[in-house]
Amino acid sequence: MFRSIVKFTKGIYGRVIQSIAFYPVIITLGFLLFAFAMLELENLDLAKTLKENLPYLFISDYDTARDILTTLVGGVLSLTVFSFSMVMVVLSQASSNFSPRLLPSLISNKNHQFILGVYIGTLLYCIILLVVLGARGIDSASLGFSTMLAAMWGVVCVALFVYFIHNISTSIQIQNIIESIYNLSNRQIDREIERAKDSQVELQMVKTDDFTTISAPKTGYFRGFDVSLLPNSFIERGNQIEVIPYLGAHIWEGTPMLRLKNKVEEDDLNSVLFCCQLSRNRNDHNDGVGGMVKLMEIAVKAMSPGINDPGTAIDAITKLIPLLQRVMRLPKITSVSLHEGKIILMKNNITASQLMQTLIQPIRLYAKKDNTVVATLIGALSFLERDTQISRENREGIRQEIQALKKDVEDNINNDLDRERILKLFQNHNNT
């Protein structure tokens, strides 16, 4: 029961963090508490002393205070509606022009959420002061400092609106989107490389062919194996676990998902399956190959007949290739020793053949008639194939993709001069 609660809590936390309402709700609650704190502060002797020494910080006229608060409510409400409308327009444009996969990252933009939260919080703060002002009538001197703070928050909202216009206009620019995806994916690959360095098992000595195979209980996208959910009884008996699918892979119900060295009872089998995280939605996480898939889809969308933007496709490819290089340098299998060596967890990394099929092949099929994009692909794949830190098996997968690209060039570029220029690039690659 406890493990179910932990897993459910982790899932809810992930969805809440990605929600556009997460930070606005928290900031609004902060403003709510701040409003009531200011109302209590107005009644303290310190506030009365400040009124005597700094009278220009207090609005003592009832009509002036009411007019200021009413104006702020209307003005901030208009800013909020306009800002939300701009966010929706940006999301619509990003979905239609680039890729629907970009929507979760744009929605979870922390800067936009913070600005919207300040808008809504200021609006709530002013409404509370108006309610209290109406209840106290012309005794508005007791709210003079709170009203002045409301006016200051109004000025802050105007400044944030100017920043919001600048930020949202730059965030929708495709080069900034590509750079953001690249940086996020690069950080995730850094973490995978660090985990690979911590490998404590000589994997070449481990044979998993005779392990007990466990099939996937349902269809979905593999999101990882959470070791913290293993029960203590299973840990004490010890075992070796091989996770077959790579992070982000789509698996079908009944296909192999795990292998265990030692046979386990039915209850332990269910406990191990409980540790596997499967999602129905490909966009739930940005882990594994998720970021690279976004770059691929941007390139494919750019080469669609309705957009036809080779420059964007080339930008996406030039950011995709360094990520591919780092991923393909990872060993085929990584492992880690847990719980004082009682649990050995082995994970399979995605191979070059799978990466080529998932990321490069869609670009190749859409761009096979465009000379500039094809030339960029040839140079990029040649760069990968020459990397000596990539395993021989992975380099063979890259080599096969280069041959497939060459076949597409021969079949689809009809102009003899253009075809000869492109084929010379393949010859230069073979000579290096």
What single-letter amino acid sits at 324?
L
**pLDDT number for residue 336:** 80
The Cα–Cα gap between 275 and 255 comes to 17
**pLDDT number for residue 107:** 67
Pairing of strands 250-251, 276-279: unpaired
**pLDDT number for residue 234:** 81
Cβ distance 387 to 329 under 8 Å?
A: yes
The Cα–Cα gap between 392 and 4 comes to 43
Determine the distance from the C-alpha atom of residue 281 to the mean position of all C-alpha atoms in its chain, rounded to a whole number: 14
10 Å CB burial of residue 54 (0-12, 13-18, 19+) is exposed
Name residues whose C-beta falls within 8 Å of residue 27's C-beta, 6 or more positions apart in sequence.
114, 117, 118, 120, 121
The Cα–Cα gap between 218 and 154 comes to 52
**pLDDT number for residue 205:** 47
Helix (H) or strand (E) holding 130: helix 110-136
Name residues whose C-beta falls within 8 Å of residue 153's C-beta, 6 or more positions apart in sequence.
72, 118, 122, 125, 126
Tell me the CA distances in angstroms from 412 to 198, 270, 368, one per residue in order: 47, 52, 7
Name residues whose C-beta falls within 8 Å of residue 265's C-beta, 6 or more positions apart in sequence.
none
**pLDDT number for residue 204:** 45
Alpha helices in 215-289 (DSSP H): 232-237, 266-274
**pLDDT number for residue 229:** 80
Tens digits of residue pLDDT in 39-81: 777 666 555 666 666 655 666 677 777 888 889 899 998 988 8
**What SS3 state is found at 338?**
strand
Name residues whose C-beta falls within 8 Å of residue 67's C-beta, 6 or more positions apart in sequence.
none
Cβ distance 227 to 277 under 8 Å?
A: no
Q: Give first-to-last CA distance, the chain, whole Å.
A: 61
The CB density around residue 416, as the number of other CB atoms within 10 Å, is 8
- Closest of 338, 343, 282, 300 to residue 103, by C-alpha: 282
Block mean pLDDT (10 aa), the chain, length 432: 54 60 86 86 62 63 81 89 80 73 71 88 90 65 74 91 86 84 87 69 54 86 82 82 85 89 79 82 64 88 84 92 90 80 84 90 89 91 90 90 89 85 78 60
Residue 209, φ and ψ in degrees, nearest 5: -65, -35
The Cα–Cα gap between 105 and 45 comes to 49
Q: Residues for the chain: how many in total?
A: 432
**pLDDT number for residue 201:** 44
